[in-house]
Amino acid sequence: MTQVSASDLHVTELGETGPRVVFCHGLFGQGKNWTHAAKQLAGDHRVTLVDMPNHGRSAWTEHLDYVAFADRVAELFDAEDPVRLVGHSMGGKIAMALALRHPELVERLVVVDISPVTYPKTSEFAGYILAMQAMDLDTLERRSDADDALVEAVPNRTVRSFLLQNLRHDSSGWRWQPNLDLLGRESAVLGRWPEDELAAVAPYDGKVLWIAGSESDYVTEDHVSDMLRWFPRTSRITIKNAGHWVHSQQPEVFQQVLERFLAG
């Protein structure tokens, strides 16, 4: 496993031979969240895990902009070595925009539990941001104190543990890795799809697999027409007993579905 800071994006690389698979994580995530899937693929794939802008070890930006983020991630790729791109949630929107704007760089695309639409509500995620910002980091003595401080605002233990992966301790004390001020200030942008900015691009004609969780409402029948408008060669799979974080809630099933598509 190799850690690389490519300009302002931090990437982790696994595997030495085979097609290149690139993972784009969602809001509050990091590239390393995909380590389990990456290790399963690394025997016969070259895998790249990217920290999205304003997350993990990647640089912060002044604004949230899916198109700009897609173009920045695209700079990691080479048209002579097109990638198999996987994106979840926020990372799924970045991956979709990248495939549309730079189709020569993407051999095929996997979109995980997000649609190319603007969602009217992002209040759940905005609430998480407010709870994280409200925590008094100077009074923390251990990570369990942070867990206790989030219980009321984030009662789901799994979600709380996921958020706390972003809490780091160094010589200056505790700090959050994501750019919470920006994410909170422009939280409405997180829910939108950059329709106008992509209006002039052609549909992506590569193979696309949509993987949704049965208990999530981020991918619905109402979204199918938009999916097919932008990505006409789309196939869809819904994984039972999974919500928005389908890849962590049903990892074995997700891995089987992913590997079958990558090999096809």
Active site residues: 89, 181, 244
Alpha carbons 102 and 77: distance in angstroms, whole number: 10
| H or E segment and range at residue 210 | strand 207-213
CA distances from 108 to 34, 61, 124, 192, 253 (A): 18, 28, 31, 23, 20
User: How many Cβ atoms from other residues are within 10 Å of residue 124's Cβ?
Assistant: 10
Polymer length of the chain = 264
Q: Give the residue from 66, 33, 65, 75 showing the smallest Cα distance to 51.
A: 33
CA distances from 232 to 96, 153, 206, 209 (A): 13, 40, 8, 11
With the C-alpha atoms ordered 189, 193, 199, 201, is the resulting torsion angle positive or negative? positive
Question: CA 255, 261, 263 angle in degrees (round to 5)?
Answer: 100
Instruction: Calculate the dihedral angle through the C-alpha atoms of 19, 212, 111, 42, rounding to the nearest 10 degrees.
Output: -20
Assign 186 to helix, strand or coil: coil
With the C-alpha atoms ordered 178, 180, 185, 189, is the resulting torsion angle positive or negative? positive
Question: CA 114, 123, 223 angle in degrees (round to 5)?
Answer: 30
Structural contact between residues 17 and 46, judged by C-beta atoms closer than 8 angstroms: yes
